[in-house]
Chain A
């Protein structure tokens, strides 16, 4: 039931800023946009959540345009340890029910030395 579209994979050089996009054309009024990061052999980890405009925390920034039909996760100056799968989720806040937050296939980001 994933309502998002992400690139399957992308590569980036160490030290660069990485921007990961997510399309969610059918986002509903009550939907939030949430990003998770998953390292190999670990469970996903919450990165950031937003509703509109820009949100920033110690790990990343999330840019959401006015129409909210897409979002961009920005990771500043990535290191090798940022190699992971990044999931974009859109939903009405809870991971169950008809409008639940559902995990898609994610975006594999590989950071190259």
Chain B
């Protein structure tokens, strides 16, 4: 009964380094999302996908790229990390059938020094 699984849970990067966050869901959901959460800011949508092979920009997409090569996986990439990308990142998925109920992963704490 895994639901939405994110890896890694914690990561520390130096400015300019790159990394990929992995999100996997086992609910056969069509839609997947990446959010970031900063203190006092709520959750902000970075990118989302409405199906395998499709991606789209959310509210704060700059500095991030995503890919959805398989329906169950949604990858978030940082090509050149910046201190402003220090945040907690959450992946979510939903069925795509309307009145969406989001299922979230447990998050990745990323620090960029």
A interface, CB within 8 angstroms of B: 1-2, 32, 34, 36, 41-46, 49, 87, 93-96, 100-106
Q: How far, in Å, is A107 (CB) from chain B's closest CB?
A: 11
Pairs across A and B, CB under 8 Å, 24 listed: A2-B42, A34-B101, A41-B106, A41-B107, A42-B104, A43-B4, A43-B90, A43-B92, A43-B106, A44-B43, A44-B90, A45-B104, A46-B103, A49-B99, A87-B42, A94-B98, A95-B33, A95-B102, A96-B45, A96-B48, A96-B58, A103-B44, A105-B41, A106-B42
Which partner residue on chain B sits nearest A94 by CB separation?
B100
Given contacts A95-B48, A96-B33, 6 further A-B contacts (CB under 8 A): A43-B106, A45-B104, A87-B42, A94-B98, A95-B92, A103-B43
Taking residues whose C-beta sits less than 8 angstroms from the other chain, chain B's interface range is 20 to 34
Q: Which residues of B contact A42 (CB under 8 A)?
A: 104, 106-107
Judged by DSSP, the binding face of A is loop
Q: Are B104 and A43 neighbours in the complex by a CB distance under 8 Å?
A: yes
Q: Are B33 and A44 neighbours in the complex by a CB distance under 8 Å?
A: no
CB within 8 Å for A44 and B99 given contacts A87-B42, A95-B33: no
Q: Are B107 and A103 neighbours in the complex by a CB distance under 8 Å?
A: no
Q: Are A95 and B100 neighbours in the complex by a CB distance under 8 Å?
A: yes
Which partner residue on chain A sits nearest B88 by CB separation?
A41
Q: Are A43 and B99 neighbours in the complex by a CB distance under 8 Å?
A: no
Q: How far is the CA of A4 from the CA of B34 in the complex (A)?
A: 22
Q: Are B31 and A94 neighbours in the complex by a CB distance under 8 Å?
A: yes
Q: How far, in Å, is A98 (CB) from chain B's closest CB?
A: 12
- 1/0 per residue, CB under 8 A from A, across B18-52: the answer is 00000000000001010100001111110010100
